[in-house]
Structure 1
Amino acid sequence: MPVAPQDLSIGIDFGTSNTVVALADSQGRVEALTFYHRGGSLKVYVTALCFWDERHGNGLRTEVEGGPWAIDQFLEGLTAHRFIQSFKTFAASQSFQETRIFRERYRFEDLLSTFLRTLKRHGGERFDLSARNVVIGRPVQFAGSHPDDDLAMNRYRAAFGKLGADHARYVYEPVGAAFFYAQQLNHDATVLVADFGGGTSDFSVMRFSRASGALRAEPLGHAGIGIAGDAFDYRIVDQVVSPRLGKGGSYRSMGKILSIPNHYYANFARWNHLAMMKGSGDLKELRELARAALDPEPLEKFIDIVEYDLGFALYRAVSSAKVALSSHDETEFRFSGEGVDIQAMIRRRDFEQWIAEDVNRIADTVDKALTDAGVEAGEIERVFLTGGTSFVPAIRRLFVERFGEERLTSADQFESIAYGLALIGQTADPARWAVAA
């Protein structure tokens, strides 16, 4: 049943890959904001922006789209454009101050507020941040090698404030997921929530109880790490795709045989980084390397992927292979486009070797959350898993070994956090769930 417009609270799960907005009313009814795109309805809004120039009269004006419409604009590629995705990973980075897009400079908060405006345009009048009780999710630990938490939160507040949400409360993302899960609890319980996003994995230990019908919660401990689904995708790219595009090859220079520099292949960490190679000088350098390479064909394929903007299609193939490995012992990776053809069998056991170090670091972070909470694994009654990466068998096995299969539960991989955040907005005291400013 659709939520009525009166007395709504809004929960916003601004994610690295996708963003979900939920609305809840005072009766506890909750639903995700729906976006209608190409004849279909979507409950997730891709965290992406595409800027392009259009001529108006005698001058140029920069236009912008977000979500799936940004991807449409990027793939059509009819005019010069600038595509930006996963910019949440820069929120806590001191080194990221601004980026120039055509004639304008954009700080992180400018990118985020621009993204939110596109979301409002497509989401309609119910996405009114100035007139609602707003609860916004934030990771336990922001992505990056040395994340600056205060900087990230200042940027969040500035961006959401531009849309009238100066009054918004910020809640750890796994706490939002925990609150959603706790609606079905009918007894006191200590719960571990594991939230696997695109850029970060966050863990919270919560103690839930009910008094006079009201749900009470005590946060016991939190921990997070900047490793999640995107990192697992990159392992497939690094092991399967990059070697077929020249990584590990050699070229001749001044009578010497040298290795092709690996830094070009770091651009595969995000598919949209490949498109940016056109304007960075990297593409010109790749052409020069191809002419000097002992085996130029793989580098020529790399060049074609950049020139023909095949990064998005390539990463869809990578993601499909990762998903297939969650239910099969092996899968065939296939990518084809503009004369580039890459095929390879991937075995789950090999994939698990590639991600083993990442999984170990995630396991250490789970242990840190338990230590921070002052509880043993045996004291956790339920483990609530959310996010697509929770279906990766190596991740699932981690939790089974620590807590037992019978204690694991999960919910919708995209919507549970936003639902929980919106429901927190309907509690008598939302502030007590929030992270201190």
Structure 2
Amino acid sequence: MNASCGIDFGTSNSSVALATPEGIRLAPVEGTYVTIPSALFFHAKDNIPTYGREAVAMFFARRPGRFMRSLKRVLGTSLMKQGTMVNGKVMKFEKIITPFLKNLKDKADAASGLDLQHVVMGRPVHFVDNDPDADSRAQAELKAMAEAVGFRYVDFQFEPIAAAFAHEVNLAGEKLALVADLGGGTSDFTVIRLSNAYVKKTDRTGDILANTGVRIGGNDFDKDLSLSLILPELGYRSTYGEKHLEVPLKPYHDLAEWSKVNFLYTTKTVAQTRQLLYQSHDKKRFGRLLTVLEQETGHALLASAEETKIALTSAATYQAPFEFIESGFFIDVSRQLFEEAIRTEIEKIAQAATQCIHDAGVGAEAIELVILTGGSTEVPRVQAEFRRLFPNAALADENKLSSVGLGLAYDSRNKFG
């Protein structure tokens, strides 16, 4: 058989799984870890990138350089062509994403002892909502980068279908399943018939009843948490001047998105914020915004929001530390307030899941298994919503961060083996 692999290039985390004569297995991609944060740190001295946890550590150690995350969200957008400043030089995003994919291929090659030529890349149902041209462009961009790192045969599979394939090997008998793949950038759904008797079928078209997706994920939860509960403590929606005008909101919205934070660190933005501080009616809170911009700690702010979200999966309340802004600065956040902040996003996710069932031509009661994958399914409110929507179904949520990669490897074996 042809040895092949599946690559799950995720908004937040990535993984690679191998399909070799010895079987299907995850490849270590950072030390002994089988997942790697989709993050890069370009060192200021030479613009050479570091990846994953090491990149995150470099950034928080305040090493000189440029930190980047959530790059998948740039695919298919105008930003791909525009590029961004990296240590004083304009760099196209293909030159940023390609080295990250090359690092994944190198790890897969090392784990297999081969120069792998065949890959199935995971993709969301929609890279970009309601824009088929941008969606096609995103896949073409990802394919070109996969070929640039040395893959000769590149195919794609929807991420929720891949997650289904990973769970299927453990099933006895046929089940009608809904796969909910909630990642950092997208939420994707598939209704599919699963059985361990189908594992080696090369054509699964007849088993897949419907796919839907919406561009909402864990990063949006982080953004809602930031805007609702954290950024007001940095002057969000405060006022300034004799006319009591609201301060500009764009810097706050950019501070709440991984892919936009770096665009704030300009002389112009800092100067405008400093000027507004003189006229601010809440100098203490608005002054914290200026501190973040001057010290370029927006990513640390986002990381704290993400840590708060994660803490609230198991705790009812959390005291979020922001001492990198101001000594003794903490914000008390409750799970109840967080759930209120993300309520609209949860409703949109539920609508997309319901649409998938409708498109499949089945009722919610017919779903026997709900497969939850992706880190965002850890959020208790998300799990509660799927239990409400599908009361007759069993919930499976093991291997949340690696099931897509494993499923892509199963798919690559069927397609290339």
Give the TM-score of the pair, scaled to structure 1.
Answer: 0.86
1:251 counterpart residue number? 240
Task: Give a deviation string over 1:342-383, Cα, whole Å, max 9, x none.
Answer: 433323222222111111111110011112222211221111
1:403 counterpart residue number? 390
The amino acid across from 2:69 in the alignment is Q
Count the aligned residue pairs: 412
Alignment of 1:34-45 (within 5 A): 34-36=29-31, 41-45=32-36
2:83 counterpart residue number? 99
Distance 1:406 1:7 in 2: 37
Do the aligned partners of 1:48 and 1:86 also contact (CA within 8 Å) in 2? yes
Distance 1:180 1:212 in 2: 12
Instruction: Tell me the CA shift for residue 29 of structure 1.
Output: 3.6
Compare the two structures and name the one with the higher strand fraction.
Answer: 1
Aligned pair partner of 2:314 in 300, 310, 327: 327
1:189 counterpart residue number? 175
- Single out whichever of 134-143 and 216-225 deviates more from structure 2: 216-225
Aligned pair partner of 1:199 in 152, 169, 185: 185
- Single out whichever of 201-210 and 334-343 deviates more from structure 2: 334-343
Matched, 1:26 2:17: no
The amino acid across from 2:251 in the alignment is Y
Helix, strand or coil at the partner of 1:339: coil
The amino acid across from 2:238 in the alignment is G
Task: Give a deviation string over 1:176-196, Cα, whole Å, max 9, x none.
Answer: 100000001121221111101
Distance 2:59 2:129 in 1: 26
Compare the two structures and name the one with the higher helix fraction.
Answer: 2
Do the aligned partners of 2:80 and 2:94 also contact (CA within 8 Å) in 1? no
2:74 counterpart residue number? 90
Instruction: Tell me the CA shift for residue 28 of structure 1.
Output: 3.0
Give the TM-score of the pair, scaled to structure 2.
Answer: 0.90
2:52 counterpart residue number? 67
Identity of aligned residues (%): 29
Helix, strand or coil at the partner of 1:256: coil
Instruction: Tell me the CA shift for residue 402 of structure 1.
Output: 1.8
Task: Give a deviation string over 1:245-294, Cα, whole Å, max 9, x none.
Answer: 11121212xx5332211111012222464444222621221111112212
Helix, strand or coil at the partner of 2:66: strand
Distance 1:347 1:140 in 2: 33
Matched, 1:47 2:32: no
Instruction: Tell me the CA shift for residue 124 of structure 1.
Output: 5.9
Distance 1:8 1:273 in 2: 39
Q: Which runs of 5+ in 1 are unaligned?
A: 1-5, 55-60, 432-437
Over the aligned positions, Cα root-mean-square deviation in angstroms equals 2.7
Helix, strand or coil at the partner of 2:357: helix
Aligned pair partner of 2:120 in 131, 135, 138: 135
Aligned pair partner of 1:234 in 223, 237, 242: 223
Matched, 1:357 2:360: no
Instruction: Tell me the CA shift for residue 311 of structure 1.
Output: 3.0
Q: Which runs of 5+ in 2 are unaligned?
A: none
Instruction: Tell me the CA shift for residue 315 of structure 1.
Output: 2.8
Helix, strand or coil at the partner of 1:426: helix
Do the aligned partners of 1:274 and 1:306 also contact (CA within 8 Å) in 2? no
Do the aligned partners of 1:23 and 1:32 also contact (CA within 8 Å) in 2? yes
Helix, strand or coil at the partner of 1:322: helix
